[in-house]
Each structure stands twice: as structure tokens, then as C-alpha cells.
Amino acid sequence: MAHSHDPFQSPKQRLSRANDHIRRLHKRIETFIKKAPCHRVIELDTDGVTKLHKFKFIKRIPDSCTHSAAEALEALRSVLDQIGYAAAIASGKVAPKKTQFPIGDDVDGLADVINRKVSNDLPDEILALFVSFKPYKGGNDPVWALNKLRNATHTTLIPVALASGGMFVSNAVLRGSAEILNPIIWDSGKNEIVFARVPPGGELNYNVHFAFKVALGEIDLVARHQVVAVLRTMATVVKSILMATEAECRRLGFIK
């Protein structure tokens, strides 16, 4: 039976909500960065003699940024499962329960998820379509990372931290020896970035311009990547899956 109403209205609304969270996160990050909440300091290393040149951040990333990122991830992941439910309803299933969008760590992991019958109420053609998106690490990395990050919110908020975004040094005067770190080191515990080491007898003077970004924490493939860019990529991929599934349901005659 073909449906004349839009069974995909709910996942479309969830996708819109996810994009709202991403836009809100972007604005909050811009506001935080404009306040330039850091200053340059020189402190001794643990050896008591090496000088560490640092940018020390006065403020930490606001909790509201972490909340917005987590809520965007939750919305994007729910879109995928709601796509499956919508397709099952459109195909004529009544109160389907097992419509999960399957995601695995690799090809075998994806097969294991499917074998657990969590997607049994999906039409065969829709399950085959979902599998064609290669929702596993190395096949569809944005979907895999989305699932990993979303799962992390079950126990704790996802780690959103400062990360190096680039540094330009000019008019540098060096006496003795010094080491400009590449990559520069972000210390989350101390809320600071170390960018140079100067051993005893050395002296380093310079003008420095430092840019930073707000990045995701230690999740493989997206670690240290700018959080808004990552979320926008995920939203684009999720939207493409939604559109492809709706088009397939139309092709199959499930919806007009």
C-alpha cells in the first residue's frame, strides 16, 4: 500500500534539529574565541632548567559547547534509525520494532550486527541499501565515527577540547639553542599549549600569532579535528542516506 503522507517527516525534523545544534555550537565557539581567553607565559619544565614557552588559557571551553555537540550527535544518530522505521512503516509494516540502521567496526562487525536481527523489520531492499553505504570504519568513516561518538554520550559528555590551529612566528631572535615544537602540545589537564622549549643558556625572543580551534577528543579518525567541520560532514552524509532511502521507497512504490 502506497502512503500519500510523508513517513520521513520525523527524520527530516531530527536532521533539521541537528543542524540547529551545529549552528548554535559554531556561534558559541566564535564568541569564545573572540574573547582571546589565553596569554603567553614562560615556565620551567619539570627538570627545573628548561624553559617552556606556552599559551595558557584563562577559561575553559563552556559546557554549553559540549552540550550542543552531544545533542547534535544524538540527533544525527537518531535520524538514521528513524529512516529505517519510516521505510518499514511505508512498506506496510505495523508497529515495527527492529528497524535499526546497522553500523559495525568493520565488514565482519557489520555482518554481526545484522545477524543479531536488530534490523529484521526492514524491507530487504532497504537493508541492502543501508549495507551499500558501507557503514563501518574504512567504508563510511563519518557514519562510523558518528556512532562511536554517539555511544560515548551514554556515560559521559563527549570531550571537546582546545587544539592547535596554527602558529606564525616573526622577528625571532635566538641565542644558543631552542626547539619550536611540531606539533605543538595541548595539555588538557593544565588547559595550556606548549609550543617551544629553550634549554639552559638559550634565549628566544619573538612575535607570535597563534590561532586555535575547538576540536573533538580522542576518537579515532576525528581526534583533534575541528568539531563543527566534523559535525557538518556527518550531517551531509546522514542527509544523503535519508534522501536515498526516501527515493528508494518511492521507486519500490511504498510512497507516492
Q: What is the pLDDT of residue 10?
A: 96
pLDDT along the chain (256 residues), means of 10: 76 98 95 82 94 88 90 96 96 94 97 96 98 97 93 61 66 74 78 88 78 78 86 98 98 93
Q: Please tell me the distance from the alpha carbon of residue 198 to that of residue 82, in angstroms, as a whole number.
A: 56
Q: Please tell me the distance from the alpha carbon of residue 116 to that of residue 96, in angstroms, as a whole number.
A: 16
Q: What is the pLDDT of residue 193?
A: 85
Q: Please tell me the distance from the alpha carbon of residue 216 to that of residue 146, in angstroms, as a whole number.
A: 12
**Total Cβ atoms within 10 A of residue 112:** 13
User: In the chain, what's the furthest Cα-to-Cα distance?
Assistant: 83
Contact residues for 196 (Cβ-Cβ < 8 A; gap 6+)? 52, 53, 178, 179, 180, 181, 204
- Only one residue has cell 563543527, namely 228
Contact residues for 181 (Cβ-Cβ < 8 A; gap 6+)? 194, 195, 196, 197
Distance (Å) of CA 248 to CA 1, 34, 181, 183, 251: 15, 46, 52, 46, 5
Cell of 84: 529505517
Q: What is the pLDDT of residue 155?
A: 46
Q: What is the pLDDT of residue 185?
A: 76
Q: What is the pLDDT of residue 183?
A: 73
Q: What is the pLDDT of residue 39?
A: 84
Bridge partners (DSSP) of residue 174 are 204
